[in-house]
């Protein structure tokens, strides 16, 4: 989290304030809708399988739409993209809230809503370097990231209470309203800017052929993306939360284990930005913090009790704060005309690593019959990769401060 002075300065920026408020409210609303729809599916089908499938659908659409639709945020004015997609999501979510809507139609609409969130998020992320002054860019990214974590936790916590005391339809309607508020805030507060890479623009001879080519060919971008993909290993305990809690004879602690990662990450970002004010110094800590996010997992080889499990997960979660300066540095290094497409690809890769890591961990834990050994193995592999990434990042930076692209 940012300091009080930085927070006041950020919230004084009308464009940023509107994007931040709208995005935070919409994120909380998304959690309400996800829980409400899952409960609605269970009520109508009485099937745990269909309920789990519906929940999993909230993860998959962005994996496809991110790489396929990220270009929209570069080819068209970004405010237009954000407003249009937010209104579309509001209309689709309101349609889902209509009483008696067939279940299959609701699921189809949910997939579409989640798919078109990708160009919105790409346009939002690519707009932040223009909306924020350079000296406050890292603070703005940190505030966005921590607010999303808090909004997700608050939305999930409120969802059960709201649905239990009203109806799933009300939660869906509330989420539709948050999208409408988001669209209005962006339309009235964010400046119109021309498209960064309009259709028909002739490329220069020295420009890379695509965002993926740029990301792979630039050692700094490649290393930053690689170090962020280590999240797939860091989130193994979260993927194994239920069997881990059972092995500790503390089934009641499942929710606690799941909540530790986002809560500790918020704490880690707060500490990082309070103790290290210089963005260049925070970038130098990306590697060491990545190591810290994985090294504690090795200690699960000693079958820690619940108390030590919580301590180890908190330390690892604090280390996960490295994602914030890595995300800022990555976006600064990208030329403006590639930011939307690169964000879409990067987000899909990150989601894939997280989902794939947790799924693979489940298979391994089942095969070897040990949850703690699986977590320790993920920590050991992650530690080796994080150490390698640390040296690669130092080489890529040339031991100098990262040079930002012209904004």
| Contact yes or no for 132/14 (Cβ under 8 A) | no
Please give the C-alpha separations between residue 376 and each of 190, 233, 308, 335, in angstroms, as whole numbers.
47, 10, 14, 39
Instruction: Encode pLDDT of 271-327 as tens digits.
Output: 999 899 888 999 999 999 999 999 999 999 999 999 999 999 999 999 999 999 999
For the chain, give the number of residues: 407
Instruction: Encode pLDDT of 218-250 as tens digits.
Output: 999 999 999 999 999 999 998 888 888 888 888
DSSP 156-171: HHHHHHHHHHS-HHHH
pLDDT of residue 50: 72
- Angle ∠(129,132,133) on CA atoms, nearest 5: 105
Q: Which of 71, 72, 86 is nearest to 23 (CA)?
A: 86
Q: Which residues of 368-390 are buried (b: 16+ CB within 10 A; e: fewer)?
A: eebbbebbbbbbbbbbebbbebb
C-alpha span between 286 and 283 (Å, rounded): 5
C-alpha span between 339 and 211 (Å, rounded): 8
Of 184-193, 246-255, 369-378, the one with minimum mean pLDDT is 246-255
Instruction: Encode pLDDT of 30-82 as tens digits.
Output: 887 877 887 777 778 777 667 766 766 677 788 888 888 899 999 999 999 99
pLDDT of residue 124: 94
C-alpha span between 314 and 329 (Å, rounded): 25
pLDDT of residue 42: 77
Tokens of 378: 């993920």
C-alpha span between 319 and 293 (Å, rounded): 4
Banded model confidence at residue 406, pLDDT cuts 50, 70, 90: very low
C-alpha span between 30 and 58 (Å, rounded): 10
């Amino acid at each position: 989290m940012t300091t009080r002075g930085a927070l006041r300065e950020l919230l004084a920026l009308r464009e940023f304030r509107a994007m931040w408020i709208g995005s935070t409210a919409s994120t909380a609303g998304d959690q309400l809708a996800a829980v409400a729809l899952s409960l609605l599916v269970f009520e109508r089908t009485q099937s745990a399988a269909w309920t789990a499938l519906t929940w999993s659908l909230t993860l998959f659409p962005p994996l496809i739409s991110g790489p396929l639709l990220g270009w929209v945020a570069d080819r068209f004015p970004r405010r237009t993209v954000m407003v249009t997609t937010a209104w579309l999501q509001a209309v689709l979510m309101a349609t889902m809230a209509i009483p008696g809507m067939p279940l299959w139609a609701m699921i189809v609409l949910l997939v579409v809503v989640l798919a078109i969130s990708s160009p919105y998020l790409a346009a939002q992320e690519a707009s932040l370097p223009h909306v924020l002054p350079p000296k406050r860019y890292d603070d703005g990214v940190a505030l966005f990231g921590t607010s999303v974590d808090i909004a997700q936790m608050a939305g999930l916590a409120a969802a059960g209470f709201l649905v239990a005391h009203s109806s799933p339809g009300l939660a869906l309607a509330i989420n539709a309203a948050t999208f409408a508020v988001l669209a209005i805030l962006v339309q009235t507060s964010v400046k119109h800017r021309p498209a960064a890479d309009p259709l028909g623009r002739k490329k220069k001879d020295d420009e890379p052929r695509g965002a993926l080519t740029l990301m792979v060919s630039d050692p700094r971008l490649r290393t930053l993306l690689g170090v962020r993909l280590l999240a797939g290993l860091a989130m193994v305990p979260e993927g194994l939360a239920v069997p881990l809690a059972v092995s500790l004879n503390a089934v009641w602690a499942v929710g606690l284990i799941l909540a530790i990662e986002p809560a500790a990450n918020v704490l880690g970002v707060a500490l990082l930005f309070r103790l290290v004010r210089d963005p260049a110094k925070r970038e130098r800590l990306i590697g060491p913090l990545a190591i810290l996010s994985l090294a504690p997992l090795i200690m699960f080889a000693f079958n820690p009790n619940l108390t030590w499990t919580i301590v180890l997960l908190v330390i690892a979660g604090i280390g996960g704060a490295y994602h914030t300066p890595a995300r800022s540095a990555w976006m600064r290094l990208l030329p403006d005309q590639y930011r939307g497409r690169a964000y879409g690809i990067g987000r899909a890769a990150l989601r894939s690593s997280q989902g794939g890591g947790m799924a693979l961990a489940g298979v391994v834990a089942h095969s070897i019959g040990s949850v703690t050994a699986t977590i320790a193995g993920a920590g050991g592999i992650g530690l080796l990769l994080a150490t390698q990434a640390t040296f690669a990042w130092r080489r890529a930076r040339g031991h100098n401060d990262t040079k930002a692209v012209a904004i």
